[in-house]
Amino acid sequence: MDAQIRNELARQRTELANERTLLAYIRTALGFVIVGIPAMWWLDHPYMQKLGALSLVAGILCLALGIRRFLAVRSMIAQEFTLQKGTAQGDHSRVA
């Protein structure tokens, strides 16, 4: 019973860490977008507008990468927990 509680708490900590990482990606993407929009709209220099567009693209890519990573890690966590749960119950057929 004690091992099950420890495993569940470890899984929850890992899920929370994954969520914090997603929030960091979102924060970074938002920073790129916040810099890119004024650079494109308010600055008249063509290089600054190109830099603003690049910043917007970087923000969108950062967000997409963060979401992709979050979903991949969430899937790995669920898979690992399922394997641990099956092994703890005596089902050793899943272990390679």
- Cα-only R_g, the chain: 21
67-82 pLDDT tens trace? 999 999 999 999 988 8
pLDDT, mean of residues 35-50: 89
pLDDT > 70: percent of the chain: 86
Q: Where are the domains of the chain?
A: 2-90
* Burial class of residue 48 in the structure, from the number of CB atoms within 10 Å of its CB (0-12 exposed, 13-18 middle, 19+ buried): middle
Please give the structure tokens belonging to residue 13. Answer: 């900590």
- The gap from C-alpha 18 to its chain's centroid, in whole angstroms, comes to 6
Sign of CA dihedral 90, 93, 94, 96: positive
For the four alpha carbons of 86, 92, 94 and 96, in that order, the dihedral sign comes to positive
This model's pTM is above 0.85: no
What is the predicted pLDDT for the residue at 25? 98
Spatial contact of 18 and 75, defined as CB atoms under 8 Å apart = no
Higher-pLDDT residue of 49, 85? 49
Nearest Cα neighbor of 74 from 21, 18, 36 is 18
The mean per-residue pLDDT over the stretch 13-26 comes to 97
pLDDT of residue 94: 47
When pLDDT is averaged across residues 3-27 and rounded to a whole number, the result is 94
Q: What is the mean pLDDT of the chain?
A: 88
What pLDDT does residue 87 have?
Answer: 65
